[in-house]
Structure 1
Amino acid sequence: MKKAILMYNPLSGSQVVPMALDSIVERFQEKDIIIQPYRIGTGLPNLLLTTLEQEHYDFAVVSGGDGTLNTAVNALMKLNLSIPVGFIPSGTCNDFARCLGLPLSLHEAIDVILEGKMTEVDVGLIDEKQYFLSTCAGGLFVDVSFNTNNEMKRNFGPLAYYLKALTEVVNIRPFSIKITTKDRVVEGEAILLIILNGKHVGGFYDVIKEADFQDGMMDIVMVKNCSHIDLASLFFKVISREALPDTHVVKMKADECTLECEKHVQFSVDGEEGKGVPKKIRFIHRGLSVFVP
């Protein structure tokens, strides 16, 4: 008989998982899998680390948004627990789930886990301390996800982020940045920096159409300082899934990079508030096993 831990965020999205806990447990028990629920809040509590360290689990199930998945993956990676992860998406954007092609319905997401098909994905690592799966971003718009009202997220989904982002356009605050990779150095005034592991970010689809979460490489997107009109044009190109223009955007690929940036710049990691400006980011090639359709 297998044993798994279910790490869930009771406040994510439509909050369906807390109401469906018994049926979730039943689905797994029907397959001779004992599943232990663990309620995730903000941050990385010591109790979660202790629980994962003391118990033996064959795999982990995470329910929530990208931030909840980030908390769970950080716990597993910090403890060097090489167990596969299943994801039941219940957040606002679910960028990572969409990159993997995971279903957004509770029943179908559990089906994927129970079918047992797995693949390996890259994992980002910031300053040898914090892991991420989707994005690390700094500058304009990055506070949208964690400053948007929860009720708006539930009522409007990703549209809540778009509406909030439009109000931020008037607050352009350029910053100086230097990005160094193994074969390129870019330096200048920017308004936004995004480091991606997949195609989607903040509910925006196909920001980098050719992104691959299994190639060991990060996609780096720097939006240069530009006028409000140019920024609005760029914003609507992203919404329309058009290719990012080279005029105001610098794009790079690398397995690691270093950043030199003004200290006041706000960063987010997988949609949650970051811990200052990252200095070094590297990718761990296929560092995590996940269940996929």
Structure 2
Amino acid sequence: MKRARIIYNRTAGREAVERQLPRILERLEAYGLETSCHSTRYPGDGTEAARQAVERGFEVVVAAGGDGTIHEVVNGLAPGERRPRLGILPCGTSNDLARALRLPKDLLDACDVIGQGVVCPMDVGRVQNRYFVNVAGAGSLTEVTYKAPSRLKSAIGQLAYYAKGLEKLGTLFRPFRVRLEASDRTIEEEILLLIVANSRSIGGFHKLAPSADVSDGRLDVLVIRRGGLPDLIQLVGLVLKGEHVKDDRVLYFQTQHLDVYSEEPMQLNLDGEWGGDLSGRVEVLAGHLEVFCPEARR
């Protein structure tokens, strides 16, 4: 019998995992998974719990929560030479990675995906010694995601980001000068936003990086050039239609690595969480993790 470890955020999805935990354990054990669980207690606890699961020889680690919980768990799994398979029970605010993997929203249906045992290779992004599976971003606009309080996100979901954005409206349009070096191009100019994506759904926008795929061995780079509020409003409309990548105010390309240089520190957002300052190389580790996915995803 294989051993599985669930690492869950009890506040995610209005405590959805904790309310259904007995049924989740029963469902996974019906598939022959000897399952135990760990509730995260503080920032970074999910990473430590995942690291301990690796050391204790668990074959499966399940991240139950939102993209932030998945981010912590991946940062505990990715450094190891022997990496357990990753399962996901999505119940966060955006669930961007779960959407990219086409996972069901119902937690018990998501348990069935794990139990059925179909896995897909998943790329992992790396910035210095930090890992991400969905997005690395820099610019004042990206601060909205990790500065929205978790209690507010639990209470009003996606609206928490909009509320925080309105609060920071006066500082969202401060440009910064960067030099970006990819394998086939160099870019040096003032920009509002830099996004390095591993999946196409980011921050609830389903087509922000329309060509991205979590298993293609490439990162999708999206750059929004310097502009003001009218430009941003127009671009949001184009994003909703998936037509923004054709706009002259946007640069969009794919690469296996990107070297980033800036005249001033840029705050780094990794999967919606604060990641320090962005500098140096962003790279992809192709197929670094195996993740349970629906049969149709393969």
Letter in 1 for 2:122: V
Letter in 1 for 2:80: L
Match of 1:22 in 2: 22
> Within 5 Å, which residues of 2 pair with 1:74-153?
74-127=75-128, 129-153=129-153
Contact in 2 for aligned 1:7/1:37 (Cα 8 Å) = yes
Match of 1:208 in 2: 209
Following superposition, the deviation at residue 46 of structure 1 comes to 7.8
Letter in 2 for 1:247: D
> Within 5 Å, which residues of 2 pair with 1:191-230?
191-230=192-231
Identical pairs, percent:
30
Deviations for 1:174-225, whole angstroms, at most 9, x for unmatched residues?
1010100111000100111000001111111111222122111101111111
Q: Which TM-score applies when normalising by structure 1?
A: 0.93
**Secondary structure class of the residue paired with 2:191:** strand
Following superposition, the deviation at residue 289 of structure 1 comes to 0.5
**Counterparts in 2 of 1:167 and 1:100: CA distance versus 1, 3 Å:** same
Letter in 1 for 2:102: G
Contact in 1 for aligned 2:46/2:76 (Cα 8 Å) = no
Query: Distance in 2 between the 1:270 and 1:290 partners?
Result: 17
**Secondary structure class of the residue paired with 1:236:** helix
Letter in 1 for 2:259: T
The number of equivalent residue pairs is 292
Match of 1:65 in 2: 66
Contact in 2 for aligned 1:169/1:232 (Cα 8 Å) = no
Q: Which TM-score applies when normalising by structure 2?
A: 0.91
Query: Distance in 1 between the 2:253 and 2:198 partners?
Result: 12
Query: Distance in 1 between the 2:180 and 2:223 partners?
Result: 9
Following superposition, the deviation at residue 277 of structure 1 comes to 1.5
Contact in 2 for aligned 1:4/1:35 (Cα 8 Å) = yes
Match of 1:236 in 2: 237
Letter in 1 for 2:36: Q
Match of 1:174 in 2: 175
Following superposition, the deviation at residue 104 of structure 1 comes to 1.3
Following superposition, the deviation at residue 89 of structure 1 comes to 0.5
**Secondary structure class of the residue paired with 2:141:** coil
RMSD of equivalent CA atoms = 1.9
Following superposition, the deviation at residue 116 of structure 1 comes to 1.0
Contact in 1 for aligned 2:207/2:240 (Cα 8 Å) = no
**Secondary structure class of the residue paired with 1:200:** coil
**Secondary structure class of the residue paired with 1:82:** coil
Mark the runs of 5 or more structure 2 residues left unpaired by the alignment.
none
Query: Distance in 1 between the 2:168 and 2:55 partners?
Result: 45
Following superposition, the deviation at residue 162 of structure 1 comes to 3.6
Contact in 2 for aligned 1:169/1:231 (Cα 8 Å) = no
Letter in 1 for 2:278: V
**Counterparts in 2 of 1:50 and 1:251: CA distance versus 1, 3 Å:** closer
Query: Distance in 1 between the 2:47 and 2:155 partners?
Result: 33
**Secondary structure class of the residue paired with 1:141:** helix
Query: Distance in 2 between the 1:250 and 1:242 partners?
Result: 12
Following superposition, the deviation at residue 107 of structure 1 comes to 1.2
Letter in 2 for 1:12: A
Query: Distance in 2 between the 1:137 and 1:175 partners?
Result: 13
Query: Distance in 1 between the 2:149 and 2:52 partners?
Result: 32
Letter in 2 for 1:85: L
**Secondary structure class of the residue paired with 1:275:** strand
**Counterparts in 2 of 1:117 and 1:148: CA distance versus 1, 3 Å:** same
